[in-house]
Structure 1
Amino acid sequence: MAPHDLDRARLVALLDVERATYTRTHPRSAEQYARADHLFGRVPMTWMNMWSGGFPLYLDRARGNRVVDVDGQEYVDFAMGDTGAMAGHSPGATVEAVTARMRDLGGITTMLPTADAEWVGAELARRFGLPLWSFTLTATDANRWAIRIARLVTGRPKILTFAYCYHGSVDEAFAVPGPAGQAVAREGLVGAPVALSETTRVAEFNDLAGVEEQLRAGDVAAILTEPALTNIGIVLPEPGFLSGLRELATRYGALLMIDETHTFSAGPGGATALWDLQPDLFVIGKSIGGGIPSGAYGLTREVAAAAMSRDDADLVDVGGVGGTLAGSALSVTAMRATLEHVLTETAFERMVALAGDFTAGVQATLDRTGVPWTVQQLGARAEYRFAAPAPRTGSDSAAAADDELDEYLHLFMANRGVLITPFHNMALMCPDTSAADVALHTRLFEEAVTALTRPRT
């Protein structure tokens, strides 16, 4: 049974029931959404409208891997802030450290460095291998600033990205291959300053021949990639793909830039340590601050020396690689506490094991029902996709999207006390996730798929 062969009438009927239940049991969330007349799109950020059911849940409180909404409904949270809360909601060590910084020491942001910054830089170097670091407040900013460094040191204008990659709101990342292989904007891109073909070359993930074809022009400053695609479903690298990128970047004079904002789930050193990657530039954000806005980019000594040697580049003032709040005392305090006490090797061992149980539970249902979907795991992260075999490119994964199936599964879970990421079907384990939480999802997933596939009577 392929996804397009599903009984769509049954799916619509089940979805109508779940929508009605969601509306009935969340009156306060619906009321607050209706009153939000001064917010663009009625939400703080327009992507919050991607929650299923016609309106988002409104937060009352959250702790660990539990979220309580304004209607008093409690949820086991597998969304975890789309990775931003991978350390758990309000992790104790982080809260204690930032509270002490704000209450006892003061100086949330002063434009002065603190000793915590060097500690965090050294820890990031230990985990990911790059020796030098600079801080931001988001991974988007880290990507933007690292891209500027790449263009500076190579003298080249373009960035090579992959179709349906995730690098925050970086303009260059919203490209897909056009009919002649040139970069064109993904459908719906808002306000691109120039045609993406002027700034970007694009290839399909897992296609080394396509990457080399784009590099031959000699105008690519950096290959920017996640070790695995994550925001279009998990698309894992095929054997030899990432090492092939390293070899091609070196051969064609481009830098290799790895973004582990999501793939940090692979382990305490991300996929970079797990798979022995060798980036020239490295980006991370979201989770390393335990929920406090934080990001960082790392660079090799060679790249740093090349940047510093340029007397025509103002890296101190107007060079476009800084922000007044970046590297603030509060942000680096949060990063230190989170990396030192929360997202530890021991925590990752447990999180990855639980993700394995989550994946096995989903797979058991797929095997029993025969639904041709797949589930992929990346460390503490797992995701199911409505395709089999598992998609090998971003475009393949995008083609497997099914908005009605997404909404049905999301609402089925939410109506029974489980949250998964609203953008797709991602589940993330945090240090507070329990085996019972995973078992609950396994049971609900089986119930949801069984209801969907039950023969007509």
Structure 2
Amino acid sequence: MEKLHLINEKSVAEMLDREEAAFIRANPESRALYERAQHSLVRGAPMHWMDNWPSPYPIYFDKAKGARLKDVDGHEYVDFCLGDTGAMFGHGNEDVAEDIREQVGNGSTVMLPNEDAIWVAENLQQRFGLPYWQLATSATDANRFAIRLSRIMTGREKVLVFNGKYHGSLDETQVSLDKGRMIPQPRISQNAVDFERTTKIIEFNDVEELERALAPGDVACVLTEPIMTNVGMVPAKPGFHEALRDITRRTGTLLIMDETHTISTSPRGYTGTYGLEPDLFVLGKAIAGGIPAAVYGMTAEVAEVMRRYTQKDGYSISHCGFGGTLAGNVLTLRAIRATLEKVMTDENYEHMCSIAKEFVQGVAAVIQDYQIPWHVTRIGARVEYMFSKTAPATGGEAKTVRMPELEAAIHLFLLNRGVLLTPFHSMALMSPYTSVDDVNRHTEAFRECIEKLA
């Protein structure tokens, strides 16, 4: 077998042309719906991300069950995207769906607490080690509220984030590094936000720069994932989390841990598994069976600040910038309870992580056989392959090895063979329903793809 050291750019372009033509031939119903949607939906989809798949237009969804998805043209896919984590525990999971159906018949939102809320908070206490919890409708909102609490508690304005991060559509975080200088992310409007006033950005894993950035005492909080996932997976170096916690405490800076993606680690997330000690903790997407939901936890000290800040002043009441009319509705709470109680179990994670290891072995074997300078990283049930020999240490490094045309070619090749990866990444998630046969299907298609690119 001829050894492949670098991917041929001409082969990538030819594959894209060939696979785009094959996609159009195979998906006339999706194309018709896409063309119809141009007259009523911006970019033909209810959210523009849905039009950012590498295909000429998105496949239009028909139904999904477990780890399989069908489109309107009748094609069935092994789904490793799983709603970009939102359906990580499987489509139409009956353990959750049954409880949702029951609750819908008994009311969906009533602006009142119920026993489910207490059960959920107590379960979250046990999993993640933080004593007090609140609900939001998305992780973006939960991060927004966590930042707001940090500013109230510290009296400081700035938020520190890491280059290449993603924490939702928060205005203050829409920044990037360019040769060491903070700039707005590409195509981002500042929306009247003065980034110099609100934000600092440094590279992940850079302890010396973290020390310098926090030393002036003007940063309210550091907002981070335990490992970076948005720019490709960037693991934390040994000792980084210990240094991060030490420096934030010494400088009076709160630490917010966003585990919306890294909940793939275990039922206790990366935080519970590795004993991290954040001041605030955010989790969204997967926790409510696909219903929009998020939770955010906090230490007793932060909770006391929130309690004082939001308490009633006689009969004068204000929402104080937290929550929303539908936050904490009883339907969402029932879905979260069912997910925590019946789905986010050690047994399910053991299966998911075992299947993820099989996925890694399949990809690694292809990389080894063709001697391509790529690597594959796993965090629990989440796997990603990237175009460098070793995992990047920073978001800046990760950006340099991203190859959009090659990524698109691989995605589209797999899509046309019934394998769905997460768009924007070569990332795959395992669900309780994902099987070894599903993984083998990906491995075979991936091997065929690399063979053609060689």
1:333: how far off?
Answer: 0.5
1:305: how far off?
Answer: 1.5
1:385 corresponds in structure 2 to 386
Once residues 81 and 219 of structure 1 are traced to their aligned partners in structure 2, the CA distance between those partners, rounded to angstroms, is 38
Once residues 164 and 42 of structure 1 are traced to their aligned partners in structure 2, the CA distance between those partners, rounded to angstroms, is 28
2:189 corresponds in structure 1 to 190
Contact 2:171 2:193 in 1 (8 A): no
Counterpart amino acid of residue 391 in structure 2: A
1:15 corresponds in structure 2 to 16
Once residues 3 and 311 of structure 2 are traced to their aligned partners in structure 1, the CA distance between those partners, rounded to angstroms, is 58
Residue aligned with 1:60, SS: strand
Once residues 307 and 169 of structure 2 are traced to their aligned partners in structure 1, the CA distance between those partners, rounded to angstroms, is 27
Counterpart amino acid of residue 53 in structure 2: W
Once residues 313 and 15 of structure 1 are traced to their aligned partners in structure 2, the CA distance between those partners, rounded to angstroms, is 60
Instruction: Give a deviation string over 1:212-243, Cα, whole Å, max 9, x none.
Output: 11111211111110001111111111101111
Task: Select the residue among 102, 105, 117 that pairs with 2:104.
Answer: 102
* Structure 2 residue ranges without an equivalent (≥5): none
Q: Percent identity?
A: 45
2:343 corresponds in structure 1 to 342
1:303: how far off?
Answer: 1.2
Counterpart amino acid of residue 150 in structure 1: S
Residue aligned with 1:176, SS: strand
Taking a change above 3 Å as real, the CA distance of residues 446 and 346 of structure 1, as seen in their structure-2 partners, is same
Taking a change above 3 Å as real, the CA distance of residues 338 and 242 of structure 1, as seen in their structure-2 partners, is same
Counterpart amino acid of residue 289 in structure 1: A
Counterpart amino acid of residue 165 in structure 2: C
1:193: how far off?
Answer: 2.6
Once residues 194 and 427 of structure 2 are traced to their aligned partners in structure 1, the CA distance between those partners, rounded to angstroms, is 32
1:172: how far off?
Answer: 2.3
1:5: how far off?
Answer: 4.8
Contact 2:310 2:318 in 1 (8 A): no
1:117 corresponds in structure 2 to 117
Once residues 383 and 317 of structure 2 are traced to their aligned partners in structure 1, the CA distance between those partners, rounded to angstroms, is 41
1:76 corresponds in structure 2 to 78
1:174: how far off?
Answer: 2.0
Tell whether 2:448 aligns with 1:447. Answer: yes
1:450: how far off?
Answer: 1.5
Instruction: Give a deviation string over 1:299-337, Cα, whole Å, max 9, x none.
Output: 000111133345899896231111000000010010000
Contact 2:310 2:320 in 1 (8 A): no
1:142 corresponds in structure 2 to 142
2:270 corresponds in structure 1 to 271
Aligned pair count reads 450
1:297 corresponds in structure 2 to 296
Residue aligned with 2:97, SS: helix
1:3: how far off?
Answer: 11
Contact 2:184 2:190 in 1 (8 A): no
Instruction: Give a deviation string over 1:309-367, Cα, whole Å, max 9, x none.
Output: 45899896231111000000010010000111112111011101111111111111111
Counterpart amino acid of residue 90 in structure 1: G
1:154 corresponds in structure 2 to 154
1:9: how far off?
Answer: 1.3
Contact 1:184 1:197 in 2 (8 A): no
> TM-score, normalising length from structure 2?
0.96
Once residues 5 and 361 of structure 2 are traced to their aligned partners in structure 1, the CA distance between those partners, rounded to angstroms, is 25
Matches within 5 A, 1:218-229: 218-229=217-228
Matches within 5 A, 1:34-49: 34-36=35-37, 37-49=39-51
1:233 corresponds in structure 2 to 232
Matches within 5 A, 1:46-445: 46-103=48-105, 105=106, 107-179=107-179, 181=180, 183-310=182-309, 317-445=318-446
1:178: how far off?
Answer: 4.6
Once residues 308 and 3 of structure 2 are traced to their aligned partners in structure 1, the CA distance between those partners, rounded to angstroms, is 57
Residue aligned with 1:87, SS: coil
Residue aligned with 1:320, SS: coil
> TM-score, normalising length from structure 1?
0.95
